[in-house]
Amino acid sequence: MLRSAVHRPARIIPLAFLAATLLGTVLLSLPAATAGPGHAPPLTALFTAVSAVCVTGLIVQDTATYWSFFGQCVILALFQVGGLGIMSGATLLGLLVKRRLQLSRRLIAQHETHSLGLGDVTGILRLILMVTMGVEIVVTGILAIQLHVTYGEPWTRALWNGLFHAVSAFNNAGFSTYSDSLIGFATDPVVLVPIMLALIIGGLGFPVLYEFRRDQRGKPWTIHTRITLWGSAVLLVGGTVAILGYEWSNPHTLGGMTLGDKLLSGLFHSAVARTAGFNSLGVGQFETQTLAVHYFLMLVGGGSAGTAGGIKVTTFFLLFFFIWAEIRGNADTVAFRRRISYETQRQALTVLFLGSLTVAIGTMLLLSVTHFELEDVLFEAISAFATVGLSTGITGDLPPAGQLVIIALMFIGRVGTITLATALALRSVTKHYRYPEERPIVG
């Protein structure tokens, strides 16, 4: 059984995330991890560790005031590891030490990075390290200078806050060392734009970034890259327009801002809604229609094999092409003059169904143990499952049972519904026969 688990990435990856969560819980339970006397309760430490490893950003205690510098360092390390993927990180270490990869490690890394072939794994892992270090260093420098020069923070504090937010942004974690997240910088493009670009780059997915780097020699981009780029652009622009439309005159959010500040905040929140978790506006003060826009953006999420969550951009738009083909009566589902395989369509449907079912069950459980309104509970459930981290403000008031539900949603959302289902399967069986076909009435 142990050998079977080790050689099956779909089983070992959830176990690796679980191990990191348990380690983080132990470290955050130490007295040195809290700013005040005593130590964090076990449930608080567990919730924070899961949220960090699953790069979600939901919190039951204020990161800026409750946790000490040591505790914040632990949280940063957890969402860095969780964002990159434990298996990819372990493979990177082996690559740096041995300068080569064993076949078993390539298979594990391939599952984590969703690369298309074993020959791509080494290049993708090198790119992960290069892009991660590059983006985080550049964004740290920009933020540190701005925080020191404009806001008067001492260099040591400015560097720490810059580093924390740069790593949190690239990994789409949403944790902040400021009690109000980024509301204090709502009109500062020097702070918001680098953070937004970092989370977009991290959320595209490393296979897309790898294809940018690779010499195509006149070859067109793959369907995965095309759908991810076009889909991300459509969601970013569409989300910005919708948020601006609904919040334009809201006195609690965009109402009192200048035109430029409104555009900046609308664009920023459209980007962070797809799993970053920062907020420069009070989410609890959004119009109901804006919350509904966030439901959709959060559930779709970012690109596959990146630091973002959700059901993924490719999943959503593949289903769009599938539905369009059904409407037109076409036997094949075609995207960008390429036929999409039946197996891929079935996988996309499975991801959407399991994701929606998980959110529905989580919402019903939260409604059963809390007194909050449906729109707030649904927002919290989607945010947890899609590892977004945005909240209308109810996270800290959840009872222990509600916190456990959120913990489960965050873990399932990060590990992946299909991966988790495969990991729980005792065995896989290939049937050498097929049943007769029949066509039940649909609709």
Nearest to 160 by CA among 69, 66, 48: 69
pLDDT at 2: 42
pLDDT of 424 strictly over 60: no
CB atoms within 10 A of CB 346: 11
Return the number of other C-beta atoms located less than 10 Å from residue 134's C-beta.
12
Residue 56 has pLDDT above 50, yes or no: yes
Answer whether residue 313 shows pLDDT above 90.
yes
Q: What is the CA radius of gyration of the chain?
A: 22
How far apart are alpha carbons 412 and 358 in whole angstroms?
8
The torsion angles phi and psi of 67, rounded to 5 degrees, stand at: -95, 145
Strand (E) or helix (H) holding 406:
helix 400-415
d(CA 48, CA 59): 6
Q: What is the pLDDT of residues 232-257, one digit of tens each?
A: 999 999 999 999 999 999 999 999 99
Tell me the sheet residues that pair with 335.
Answer: 338
How far is 407 from 46, CA to CA, in rounded Å?
8
How far apart, in whole angstroms, are the C-alpha atoms of residue 402 and residue 389? Answer: 15
Q: What is the mean pLDDT of residues 271-281?
A: 92
Determine the pLDDT at residue 341.
86
- Between residues 111 and 287, the one the model is more confident about: 287
| SS3 state of residue 38 | coil
Residues in Cβ contact with 292 at an 8 Å cutoff, skipping those fewer than 6 apart: none
Q: Do the bridges between strand 338-339 and strand 334-335 make them parallel or antiparallel, or are there none, so unpaired?
A: antiparallel
pLDDT at 419 over 90: no
Sign of CA dihedral 268, 129, 123, 312: negative
- Distance of alpha carbon 399 from alpha carbon 392, whole angstroms: 16
- Positive/negative CA dihedral, 28, 30, 33, 38: positive
What pLDDT score does 5 carry? 47
Q: Tell me, what's the pLDDT at 6?
A: 45
pTM summary value: 0.90
List residues bridging with 338 in a β-sheet: 335
| 168 residue type, one letter | S
Which tokens is 258 given?
């200048």
